[in-house]
Structure 1
C-alpha cells in the first residue's frame, strides 16, 4: 500500500473520526479501557435556559473538567466552588483517583489552587505571549496520604 500525506485546511467530522478510530482502538488494546462517561452540571435561569455550568468526562480513573463557566452576574458568589464540589463528589463516588483540568493565567488558576489543585504542567506564552496555560490536578490519594500523616 502506498501512503502519502495531504493537507486538508477544511477537515470535516468524518476526517476527525477517521483519525480518532484507530487511535481509540490502540489505546483500548493497551489499557483495556473502553469509552468515557460524560457529565454536565447545568446552571439554568428562570426560563430554563442554560447560562453556564460544568462539563466533565471520566476516562479510566480520572475525571477531566473540560468546561466550567459561571455567568458573569453570578461570579464571586460561590457557584463555581459548588459546581467543583459536586463534580468532586461524583468523581469520588465513581472511584476516580483524581480530577484534572486546564486553565489560562487570565482565567482561574488561583480559584483551583484554593480548591486543592496543583499545577503539573505549564505551556508558556499560550494562547499568546504574556499568558500561560496551566494543567492542574487534584489527586485524591494525596488527600488520604496527607490526612494519615497529620499530627493530632
Structure 2
C-alpha cells in the first residue's frame, strides 16, 4: 500500500551536503531565504542589544536582541572574580530597562540546570518550557518575564 508521501519524487541523497563546517555564505543565504519567505509583521524591528563591563579586559556582559516586542537574552556572563558582587543583576536590569525603552512586552531566555536558573528566578523569571535530559542528566529551561 502506498500513501501520499510515496507519490512525491524522492530526493537524490547524493545531492545532500552534510557538514559540520558550513560555508558562511550558505548560512547567510539560508537565513536570507527564510526571512524573505516569512510574512512581514508591523513590529518586525530586529535590533541587537549588548552591554559590556571592562576592567583590564572584559569582566561581564549581556547580549541578545529585541524583536517582535520581546528581548531575547542570548548570553549573560560575569567573570568568576566578580560573581556575587551584583554585576550580573546590574547587567540584567540594564538590559530590561533598555528593552522597556524599546517598548518590549517581555524578556525570554534559555539556560541549563547546571547554569543560572535560580539567578533568573530570583529576578522574576518563570519557566515556560523544559527539555529534560538535555544534556543527559540535566535539563534545558526556557524562562520569561513580563516587563
TM value normalised by structure 1: 0.81
Verify: 1:15 aligned to 2:23, yes or no: no
- TM-align CA RMSD: 1.8
Once the two structures are superposed, residues 98-124 of structure 1 have per-residue CA deviations (whole angstroms, 9 ceiling, x without a partner) of 000000000010110010000111111
Aligned to 1:73, which of 81, 89, 94?
Answer: 81
In structure 2, what is the equivalent of residue 149 of structure 1? none
* 1:35 to partner: Cα distance: 5.3
Once the two structures are superposed, residues 21-60 of structure 1 have per-residue CA deviations (whole angstroms, 9 ceiling, x without a partner) of 1111123x24245452112111201x3x223310120111
Q: Which has the larger radius of gyration?
A: 2
Verify: 1:104 aligned to 2:115, yes or no: no
Q: Structure 1: 5+ residue runs without aligned partners?
A: 141-152
The residue correspondences of 1:45-124 to structure 2 (distance < 5 A) are 45=55, 47=56, 49-124=57-132
Aligned to 2:144, which of 127, 137, 142?
Answer: 137
Which protein is richer in helix relative to its size? 1
